[in-house]
Every structure is written in structure tokens, then in C-alpha cells.
A and B are shown apart, each in its own frame.
Chain A
């Protein structure tokens, strides 16, 4: 039985449906990420779980306790759910120490002790406790918000894009630190984000949301390699999508015979490869002759961006004449290491590793 259970959640704002039937199960102590473009309803879902708003329809059950059922809902302050908002939402009129201790009883003798302990857990210096929120950097503010939410020992922690205000370098380290911290505390966590890399690296379960619904829920690896449709595939990363005919676990595509992840047989299908599945090997025009079963291409564009280099490869030969014209003219866009990427004009041999995913 799952710890958090959401069934058929609906929420409308006037004529606009923010949530149109959301179901989700979250296991105790696990981390779940909800990812989607802005306006997809992910923040609304978080607000309903937190209890800031009541759903129009549907149920939210946490640890066997019904939090919301149709219009009836337990208010936020009786739910014991921690929330860390996008910019921390620290109280500007209180010191850091009072911010962290806000949810604790004021007469608590262990209060001061506990505040220091929480600050230590989230990696804040003790000296910072007497300061005000506006004197802190964005990363520190987020840590305070986290400590404040953890102070009440929540059953469930909701993170609403907490890393989006931070700069790139800090973001990854904060994400890792927060994940470890919550894991150690055994707190079930839901992260809402529009950044797919963040979602994939943070959680054990990822839900992709679009237009107020989950289009796919699964492990990060499943979602990345076996997306349900083209939109999900492209949302989670770069994708090469090709027409193919499939049979017996293989596809015949413009890139040749490629292993696929299904045993179905179809004459018309679409397969997806992640660009990193395609390997390049430098060769020359002479090297092309006499090797009919190999695939060659010419680098037509190259864009250097430091650690990576994005290159466009135009196919020089392919195995599937009927579609050749269309595909042959659309270059493959690949991201390679900046160190040894081939230059414009070079001839390369293409190889495919792993299996291609077939869209249903």
C-alpha cells in the first residue's frame, strides 16, 4: 500500500481546467518528481496536496488519512506536510533563527538547541542564525526554508522548484545535498520542476505532466529510454525519431538494421534513438568504398560550446531507398565531446549502440 494516494483529482479555475484527473501513488520514504512545462498544472497539484486549496473532485489520502475528498479538505495547518517554495518564502521580519523555529512551540525548552541542530543538518553556519533573510544568498535562503520545513518533522515534504532561483553550479550540489538529507531523515518527498535533468537525477519515480494530466509515470531510466510518445521523448531530452519497419526484434530504418525493444512486427512504425546512442568514427571518402553494409555521413555544421560540440551529420548512403530522400536531407544533430569532435567536411562512419525504442 502506498503512502500517498491521489485519485482522480480535478481542479478548475473558472473555465480553465488546471488539473483534469490526476492519479499518483507514492511509496513511503521515496522521492518523486513531477515535471512538466510551465502552466501544466504541476504547481496546482502541489498546492492541493499541501492543502492551500481544495480540489473540485478526487481524493488525496496520506498514510491512510483522507486529506481531501471532493470539496471537503483538511486545512493546510493540520496536515503536517512540509513545503519549500520557489524562493524560500522566508519571513522577512524574523531572524533566521526565528524563521527556522517558526513552526515549533514558543515555550519549547529545546527550541534553541533544535534550531542549531537543524541549521547544522542543512549545512548552515551558526553565525547566520542572527541575520535576516535579505542578508543571505539564494542558496542559503533555500537551506533555511528547508530547515524551517523540517523543524516540524513533516510526514511528506513538497519542494516547489526550490532550485530554480539558484545558479547552475550551486543547483546541482544543492539538489544532491537535499536528496541525501531527506533520504537520511526518511521523509517522503515530492519535487515539482520544469527542468527535466533535475527531475531525472533527483527522483526514483518521475511523473511527466501535460495539460493537467500525467502523460507518463515511471523510473527515470524507463521514461528516458522508453517514452510513451514523441512529446515526452523530446521533453526529456534530444531525440532522433525515424520511420522504420519492424519485425523480430529489429528495425529496418534509414540508419540500417537496429535492435529494438519489442518483438512486434509492423510495416510502419516510428523508432526513437537518443543521440548519445550514435557513435562516430572518422574515415575518408576512400574508406567508404566496398563496404555496402556500413553507414557514412559528412559533417556539415559544427558548433563548439566548450565541453560539448554540437555537430550536424548528413547521411551519404542509406539502406532504405523509399524514405531516403526525406531522411537523407535532414541532418542528424549530435552532441559530442568538444575534445575530439570531427570538423566540418570530414567523413564519418556511424554506428548505433543499444536498442531503439518503438513508439506504440
Chain B
């Protein structure tokens, strides 16, 4: 999951660039260009393979019933999941942000908390609770539950930012509450809904574990199957090509639907704070919606994990094995987060301090790569290392590079926001007070952006911790992360032994959802 940091896009136009035209140092530009080129490697590779394979083979591999079947499955999944998730998220966001629902703040956090549970753990929970669950509708159910927070976060942030004066104006013009919602509120949520839907859509395309549990075939599961049976055949690569095309279709659709509209507040001055609507008799049904959502999204996983932990007793806590997996996971997560943050640094600095056409181009590259499924990046790196640099195949270096490529946008968004909070004027003030340049940079920009950078690193680490597909394909032999251990136990239907791993993953992710929650509040200016 290349998750929620793209919230920066989802919902909130990035307009907070403090322009202080300044030329970026050449070494910094070089670094940023190198990172962007490196990021484009998987994409270039797919094109190169397609060209090399030749049109006949490509068309034979692409235009066959199996691909059509996968295409139908994937399309239906996206077309059903996204609208349901939108409706659910808008309802939840409105209830938690704009109504007098009791305990709104707690509910708001509970609507974000499902992000702490990896999608394949959601699926594991459901399949052990309802063993017969499978197919499209099961996929839609679990997907909505696992991914709706990606829509909820930007929508609730957008709702919070809406200027209540607009709703007052519409009421004074004779519109009742429902018509105000449709004609004034909904249009302004469009950006948030577009961004969030894109994020959910990309996750649906990229997810592997979730759909394996409920036996629903998508491109990603097919690619991994193909990879496991024929290792590195052109068939897997061509499927990856189709999957990438699907991603681009989603990106393009989002750009089309989003349009060039500007939904920002017109006028100056601070917006008045909003009034919450009195729910009255609707309080009980509204509470029921939140309770049911929370039960499905948090209750089911927690109850299942708890049940298996109790059933397994002390036996399943094989501490040596768990300790090893935990250690390896933490190491990979921290090293990957560090690499991604360092790689994102030149780009982030340029985009705030020396924005221009070059920076927009580089950012675009990174963004497109960030939307590629992990399985595509992993497949590309496998093929590249096997064909060109065999000694690098299944090494620590390669897996860390894969993580960095996958999670670069996450690190970039956080870094950019935090550097933007440290205006260059502060750096100049420090210099004028007699600090040397490096000292001035240290005592202002770096000090001020450190918390944001740390939050970004934490989010990358969270992503790596719960990453399964790329890790399986690329990690050095003998690697066994929490996710891998969980996967292999549950693959053997040893659900009890898998439970401690699921528990640890969720427990470690839970605090990070708080970071997301706070970040989204801050983006709304609160």
C-alpha cells in the first residue's frame, strides 16, 4: 500500500509554496534528476521488454481470454468498490465533522484506525470468521472496509475547511438543507473525492494478499502466480504491462474528472467556524452506521486475532522466531525509510526553495512511479538484476531500492510540507544574526522540518512493515519479515500461529494512524 501521504494530493491543492526564487545548487539538481531517472527505471524496463519481445508474442500474451477475464474482474472490483467507499466515507465524514453526533472526535479517529490493519490481515480475519467468503462481492466488502479511510481522510479535511458562509448564503437564497448539500457542499468535495478515489483505485490494483485469501483473481495475483510458476517469463511481464496501463487509465480519469476547477475560498479573512447540525431523531441511526462500520472494520480483525491468540495459547508465541522476524522487519523498515527520505530530500528542497518547470517534471515522474503497484516494481527489479547485474539479485541493496521507489512519494509529501513550514526568511534572519550558512540552515530549516521528516519516515516504515509482494520477490534468501511469516503460516491454514504476527503488525501500526489523523487535521488548518 502506498498509502495516505498522497493525501496531500487527495483533497488539498498544493498551493502553499512559498516562492523565494533562488537557484538550486547544481549538485542538488543532479541528485534530484538521478533519483527521478532511477525511479523511471521500472517503467522504462516494461517498455523495453515489450519492444524486445516483439509484437506477435506481445499480442498473443495480451489478447487472450485469461487477460480479458482478469480485466473484467479488476474493472468490476474498482467500479463497485470505489462508489460504495465514496458514499460511506462522505456519510461518515459528514457525521463526524458536521453533526452533533456524541463522541464525534473518537469516531473520527476510529474511522482512520482501520488503516493500521494491513489489507491482507482484514482478509484473513474475514475468511476465518466466514470461511465460505469468496469472489467478487467478498472482494468488494473487504476492500471497502480496508480502504475507505483513504477517502474518509481527505473528505473530512475538506469538509472542515469549507467556508460556512457559502452554506449560509445558499440558505438565504431559499435552499433547504438537502439541496444545499447537493448544490454547495458536494461540488466542493469533488477534489477530495477524486484524490481519495484514485488512491483507493490504485490500492485495489496493487493489492495481492487480500484477494488471494478470498480467491478472487486480479492482475496482481495473476502476476505473482505467473512469477511463481515460470519465474521470469514474458507472460508475467506482459500482465504487468496491462496492469500499468490500468494504473495510467485511473490517473488519467482522475485528471479528467478533477478538471481545472478552483474550489478554494474566495475572499480574505478567516472563515467563521462551522456550526454542527442537530441530528435530532437521526442520532440513533447515525450512531448505528458508525458502530456497524467500526465493528466491521476494527471489530472483526480484533476479535479474530484475539480468538486465534486465545486458541493458540502460549504455544504460538515462539519468541525466538518472532523476535527474529520483528528484528528483520524493523531493520528493513528503518533502512528503507531512511533511504527513501534521503532520496526524496533534494527533490523536496528544490520544489519548495527553487520551484520551476524542471521541478514539476521531476515531481511528475516520481508521482507516476509511486502509483505503480509493488509487484510491477519488484518484477522489473528482478528481471533487471537477473539479466544485467546478477550479483545484486535478492540482496539487501535491491530490496531497499524497491522500497525507496515504492514509497518515495510518501517521503516526498511529508518532507515538502515540513520544509514549507520553515520559510527561507528564517534562514536569512539567522544569517543576518551572524550564523554561518550551514549553522543557519541547521538552526532553522532543519530544526523546524525535523518533526515532519520524522513523521514521513514513520509512514514509509509503516508501509514497508506491511509490504508483502515485493518483499517476497526480492528479499535475500532467509529473510522472514512479520508479513512473510504471517503469510506463510496462514497459507498453511495455521491461523493460530499467524495470529501473533498479525497482532504485532497491527499494534505497531496503530500509533501511526494517529500521525495520519493529526496530519490531516493540520492540513485543514486546525
User: In the docked arrangement, what's the CA distance between A132 and B165, Å?
Assistant: 18
B276 at the binding interface (Cβ < 8 Å): no
A87 at the binding interface (Cβ < 8 Å): yes
A152 at the binding interface (Cβ < 8 Å): yes
User: In the docked arrangement, what's the CA distance between A138 and B269, Å?
Assistant: 13
Determine the chain A residues whose CB is within 8 A of the CB of B275 once the complex forms: 53
- Mark interface residues in B252-264 (1 if CB within 8 Å of A CB, else 0): 0000000001111
User: In the docked arrangement, what's the CA distance between A79 and B265, Å?
Assistant: 26
A110 at the binding interface (Cβ < 8 Å): no
With contacts defined as CB atoms under 8 Å apart, how many contacts are there between chain A and chain B in the complex?
A: 93
Are A83 and B269 interface neighbours, CB within 8 A? no
Interface of A is mostly: loop
Are B173 and A152 interface neighbours, CB within 8 A? yes
Are B266 and A134 interface neighbours, CB within 8 A? yes
User: In the docked arrangement, what's the CA distance between A129 and B450, Å?
Assistant: 48
Are B269 and A86 interface neighbours, CB within 8 A? yes
Are A83 and B267 interface neighbours, CB within 8 A? no
Given A77-B174, A91-B184, A152-B174, CB of A50 within 8 Å of CB of B168: yes
Are A133 and B188 interface neighbours, CB within 8 A? no
User: In the docked arrangement, what's the CA distance between A152 and B264, Å?
Assistant: 26
Are A93 and B187 interface neighbours, CB within 8 A? yes
A20 at the binding interface (Cβ < 8 Å): no
B415 to chain A, nearest CB (A): 29
Are A141 and B266 interface neighbours, CB within 8 A? yes
- Mark interface residues in B139-181 (1 if CB within 8 Å of A CB, else 0): 0000000000000000000000001011011111111100010
Are B175 and A132 interface neighbours, CB within 8 A? no
User: In the docked arrangement, what's the CA distance between A92 and B184, Å?
Assistant: 9
Are B261 and A93 interface neighbours, CB within 8 A? yes
Are B168 and A83 interface neighbours, CB within 8 A? yes
Determine the chain B residues whose CB is within 8 A of the CB of A145 once the complex forms: 169
A309 at the binding interface (Cβ < 8 Å): no
Are A89 and B269 interface neighbours, CB within 8 A? no
Closest residue on chain B to residue A132 by CB atoms: B262
Residues 126-148 of A at the B interface (beta carbon under 8 Å) = 132-134, 138, 141, 145, 148
A297 at the binding interface (Cβ < 8 Å): no
Are A90 and B263 interface neighbours, CB within 8 A? no
Given A87-B266, A141-B266, CB of A75 within 8 Å of CB of B188: no
User: In the docked arrangement, what's the CA distance between A166 and B183, Å?
Assistant: 28
Range for the number of chain B residues in contact with chain A: 20 to 34
Closest residue on chain B to residue A83 by CB atoms: B172
Given A87-B165, A132-B262, CB of A92 within 8 Å of CB of B171: no
Are A148 and B173 interface neighbours, CB within 8 A? yes
Determine the chain B residues whose CB is within 8 A of the CB of A204 once the complex forms: none
Residues 44-68 of B at the A interface (beta carbon under 8 Å) = none
Determine the chain A residues whose CB is within 8 A of the CB of B268 once the complex forms: 87, 165
Given A86-B269, A93-B188, CB of A102 within 8 Å of CB of B262: no
Are A85 and B168 interface neighbours, CB within 8 A? yes
Are B174 and A90 interface neighbours, CB within 8 A? no
Given A87-B165, A93-B263, CB of A77 within 8 Å of CB of B171: yes
- Mark interface residues in B401-412 (1 if CB within 8 Å of A CB, else 0): 000000000000
Given A87-B269, A149-B173, A152-B173, CB of A92 within 8 Å of CB of B168: no
Residues 81-114 of A at the B interface (beta carbon under 8 Å) = 81-83, 85-94, 102-103
B45 to chain A, nearest CB (A): 42
A110 to chain B, nearest CB (A): 17
Are A92 and B169 interface neighbours, CB within 8 A? no
- Mark interface residues in B19-34 (1 if CB within 8 Å of A CB, else 0): 0000000000000000
Are A92 and B188 interface neighbours, CB within 8 A? yes
Closest residue on chain A to residue B186 by CB atoms: A93
Q: Which of A77, A79, A91, A165 contacts B269 (CB 8 A)?
A: A165
Are B174 and A103 interface neighbours, CB within 8 A? yes
B181 to chain A, nearest CB (A): 12
Closest residue on chain A to residue B264 by CB atoms: A92
User: In the docked arrangement, what's the CA distance between A165 and B264, Å?
Assistant: 18
Are B173 and A92 interface neighbours, CB within 8 A? no
Are A141 and B170 interface neighbours, CB within 8 A? no
Are B269 and A51 interface neighbours, CB within 8 A? no
User: In the docked arrangement, what's the CA distance between A91 and B176, Å?
Assistant: 16
Residues 223-271 of A at the B interface (beta carbon under 8 Å) = none
Are A90 and B266 interface neighbours, CB within 8 A? yes
A52 at the binding interface (Cβ < 8 Å): yes
A80 at the binding interface (Cβ < 8 Å): yes
A76 at the binding interface (Cβ < 8 Å): yes
B169, B176, B187, B264: residue with the most chain A Cβ atoms closer than 10 Å = B169
User: In the docked arrangement, what's the CA distance between A133 and B265, Å?
Assistant: 10
B108 to chain A, nearest CB (A): 22
Closest residue on chain A to residue B180 by CB atoms: A77
Are B171 and A52 interface neighbours, CB within 8 A? yes
Determine the chain B residues whose CB is within 8 A of the CB of A92 once the complex forms: 188, 262-266
User: What 17 new A-B contacts, CB under 8 Å, besides A86-B267, A134-B264, A145-B169?
Assistant: A52-B168, A75-B176, A77-B170, A77-B176, A82-B172, A87-B266, A87-B268, A89-B168, A92-B264, A92-B265, A93-B187, A93-B188, A93-B263, A141-B267, A149-B172, A149-B173, A165-B269
22 A-B pairs (CB sep. < 8 Å): A47-B168, A75-B171, A76-B168, A79-B172, A81-B172, A85-B169, A86-B165, A87-B266, A87-B269, A89-B165, A89-B168, A89-B267, A90-B266, A91-B166, A92-B188, A92-B263, A103-B174, A103-B175, A133-B266, A138-B267, A141-B267, A165-B267
The 3 closest A-B pairs by CB, nearest first: A87-B267, A103-B173, A76-B171
